[in-house]
Amino acid sequence: MQRLSAAFLALVLACIFLIAPCGANPALATEQAGDFQAGVELYYTGHLDEGLTRLRGFVIRNPNSPLLPQAHLYLARIFHDQDNCTAALLYLDRLPPGEQSPEAQLVRGSCLVRMGEKRAGADILLPLQDAPLTESDRSLAFGRLGQAYAALDEPLRALLFYRQALVASSMPGPWLAQVHDLLRSPIAETVLEEAAFMFHGSAIAQDARLQLALRALNRGEHERAGALVGQVMGDPTPFPYRSEARALLEQLHGGATTETATLGAILPLSGRFAPFGERMRRGMDLALSLHNQGSHQARFIYRDSGAEAQTSADNVTTLVNIDRVIAIAGPLTGAAAQSAARRAQREAAPLLALSPREGLPQEGSWVFRNSLTSRQQARALAHYAVTRAGKQTFGVLYPENRLGEELLNLFSQEVQRLGGRVVKQQSYGEDTTDFRTQIHGLLGYDPAAAANRSRKRPLPFDALFIPDYADRVGVIAPQLAYYGMEKVPLLGINGWNSPDLLRLGGRFVEGAVFVDGFFIDSPQPMVREFVALYREAFDEDPTILEAQAFDSAGILLYLLSRPDVRGREDLRRHLSGLQNFPGVTGYLSADRDGELERDLFLIQVRDGRFVQLSGERPLWIP
């Protein structure tokens, strides 16, 4: 909430003195009011933490003070301003019924809207439209009503309230940002047209015309787009997104709608994930350099996904509306990819996400995903074990974390679908180093019984699946042999594809089989050529990150070079129909959701080294 003027603050404090009862001790009343005054002054001067401390102290020391309701109200306002609406509501609930002033109702309604209770919050705020509130509080009330009705899918009503909030506000920036998000959302075009007419001469009308122009441009209606953006640029009304309008006008004057030879990429180029982002950028750059050796030239524009998920969404908007890219690859991390996918769907721009985050392709028809997922691994491994190796019963030894539990469930489902069964399962903590209890549990006997140590029992299953990483499997494998499971066939995931498995597991992992989306020692010619090119360019070995990025870039570059791809819709249509694209991570095909399914590499430990079981091409999973 905005702070009040010094004159108003003096008036507030004078009124506080006047509410003290006439029979009260004047010295005590003055002392109490002085403590209270200090807290209020700190609040109005923006020192929220200090004001909170003083007012809390006042409440504790003066439980019977007539100033207590006002103290509770100011504490509620401080917590509201600190985004702690739960605490704010607790203090508001302490107010007597007669002290539920318009200001208290404002804080309550604002909190409810922010906490997701849009309808309840709006019902409280609506009667305050004519209440005696300060201009800043009126702006807050109208702004929260705009926010509530936007969420309730009443965009025009929301804009009416936002307009009133802007009129009353001396700091309109946050409300204009919310208006901008609303106008960019997939609301009906008639709403944009009404907003441009109803709010003529305001920033809302300017933004509405800009969004109309962008929609027209995406449909190929260049003349209409030019007329609309011309109106925006010809109107001197202050408008925070004028630079976007100017860039759009420049694009139109240049005769281009979408840069058909330009792709965007959103990768973690700073922060703790920057090394992974740099690896993926190398893979994309290598694919681009090979593509540009031909007659069709292209380029990538890279954006940093940053630390906040919202940054990736904003990058999508910039790449689509300012850089005019035809499609986007990335992001890599889960939250960033989720945020970018939702924005790409709203902007109607093809996005090929690189994250295994569950549910990304289901965001909409403009969102695709090229990443090795847990489901793909479980499916490929179960297919090998049941249909090729002839195994029917399985044990699972899994870590107590999200990955372990997810793969336990997925592997069990796939095995059952193929006619097999998971008959034993045991979990272990992530810090476990002694696996005796879990191994005995898999064998089906009490580890506390001494006689069990020497008893030999037949294995209760045909193979053991361990969905963990190589360093942990290298510790588990010797203990399996020691506690009576020395000849059990082992099955694993791509986390096993590390020298640590051979170094730590030694002879105890001999014969183990796992799947991965990339195998650097594959005899497949395409993989061998990619590895050689990467080593020549960067003087080190590529990982699955570079391989995945190389294929993702290769797919988009291949599609944009097609003569029948002239815009985003053309590229989206061809990407959704992609079949058997020959990548270094396998043959890639898009399913009906936009997931790029792949053939996985089936890898076995043989004579102390990794070898590809499936020959010249990866394992095909129908």
pLDDT at 403: 93
The sign one gets for the Cα dihedral 333, 334, 338, 339 is negative
pTM of this prediction?
Answer: 0.61
> Is the pLDDT confidence value at 445 over 80?
no
Angle ∠(82,84,90) on CA atoms, nearest 5: 125
> Is the pLDDT confidence value at 622 over 50?
no
pLDDT at 24: 44
| Low-confidence winner among 75-84, 238-247, 331-340, 498-507 (lowest mean pLDDT) | 238-247
Domains by residue range for the chain, with CATH: 6-214 (1.25.40.10), 258-372+525-589 (3.40.50.2300), 374-516 (3.40.50.2300)
Of the candidates 445, 438, 446, which has an alpha carbon nearest to the alpha carbon of residue 464? 438
pLDDT at 455: 58
Report the distance separating Cα 422 and Cα 256, nearest Å.
58
Mean pLDDT, residues 556-562 = 92
400 pLDDT band, cuts 50/70/90, is: very high
Q: Which one has a higher pLDDT value, 294 or 442? A: 442
Mean pLDDT, residues 564-570 = 90
Are 586 and 524 spatial neighbours (Cβ–Cβ below 8 Å)? no
pLDDT at 488: 93
Q: Which amino acid is at 328?
A: I
3-state SS, 294-344, equals: CCCCCEEEEEECCCCHHHHHHHHHHHHHCCCEEEEECCCCHHHHHHHHHHH
> Is the pLDDT confidence value at 318 over 60?
yes
pLDDT at 616: 43
> Is the pLDDT confidence value at 336 over 90?
yes
> Is the pLDDT confidence value at 257 over 80?
no
pLDDT at 469: 95
Angle ∠(548,553,558) on CA atoms, nearest 5: 125
Q: What letters, b where the CB count within 10 A reaches 16 and e where it falls short, cover 70-96?
A: bbbbbbbbbbbbeeebebbbebbeebe
Mean pLDDT, residues 593-617 = 87
Indicate the Cα dihedral angle 180, 184, 187, 190, nearest 10°: 80
The residues, any chain, with a CB within 8 Å of residue 167's CB and separated by 6 or more, are none
State both tokens at 85.
């609406």
Mean pLDDT, residues 255-272 = 80
45 pLDDT band, cuts 50/70/90, is: confident
33 pLDDT band, cuts 50/70/90, is: low
pLDDT at 306: 80
> Is the pLDDT confidence value at 15 over 60?
no
> Is the pLDDT confidence value at 94 over 70?
yes
Report the distance separating Cα 553 and Cα 319, nearest Å.
16
pLDDT at 66: 87
> Is the pLDDT confidence value at 621 over 50?
no
Task: Report helix, strand or coil for 601.
Answer: strand
Mean pLDDT, residues 559-580 = 92
Mean pLDDT, residues 479-484 = 90
Length of the chain: 622
29 pLDDT band, cuts 50/70/90, is: low
pLDDT tens string 499-553: 999 999 999 999 999 999 999 999 999 999 999 999 999 999 999 999 999 999 9
pLDDT at 309: 86
The residues, any chain, with a CB within 8 Å of residue 317's CB and separated by 6 or more, are 184, 343, 347
Q: Which single residue is written with the structure tokens 């093809």?
A: 350
State both tokens at 307.
């630390």
DSSP state, 202?
S
Q: What residues are paired with 425 via a beta bridge?
A: 396
pLDDT tens string 110-155: 999 999 999 999 999 999 988 998 898 999 999 999 999 999 999 9
Mean pLDDT, residues 376-398 = 96
| Percent helix / strand / coil, the chain, rounded to 5 | 55, 10, 30
pLDDT tens string 184-235: 888 999 999 999 999 988 999 999 999 999 888 878 788 888 889 888 887 7
> Is the pLDDT confidence value at 61 over 90?
no
Of the candidates 216, 221, 210, 218, which has an alpha carbon nearest to the alpha carbon of residue 247? 210
Are 411 and 439 spatial neighbours (Cβ–Cβ below 8 Å)? no
- Number of helices (H), then strands (E), belonging to the chain: the values are 25, 15
Are 182 and 159 spatial neighbours (Cβ–Cβ below 8 Å)? yes
CB atoms within 10 A of CB 157: 16
pLDDT at 447: 57
Mean pLDDT, residues 19-30 = 46
Angle ∠(545,548,551) on CA atoms, nearest 5: 145
DSSP string, 442-502: HHTS-TT-GGGGT-----SSSEEE--S-HHHHHHHHHHHHHTT-TT--EEE-GGG-SHHHH
> Is the pLDDT confidence value at 18 over 60?
no
Of the candidates 361, 416, 370, 367, which has an alpha carbon nearest to the alpha carbon of residue 393? 416
> Is the pLDDT confidence value at 492 over 50?
yes
Report the distance separating Cα 585 and Cα 598, nearest Å.
7
pLDDT at 30: 55
Of the candidates 114, 116, 112, 173, which has an alpha carbon nearest to the alpha carbon of residue 139? 173
43 pLDDT band, cuts 50/70/90, is: confident
pLDDT at 258: 57
Mean pLDDT, residues 471-499 = 93
State both tokens at 492.
């694993």
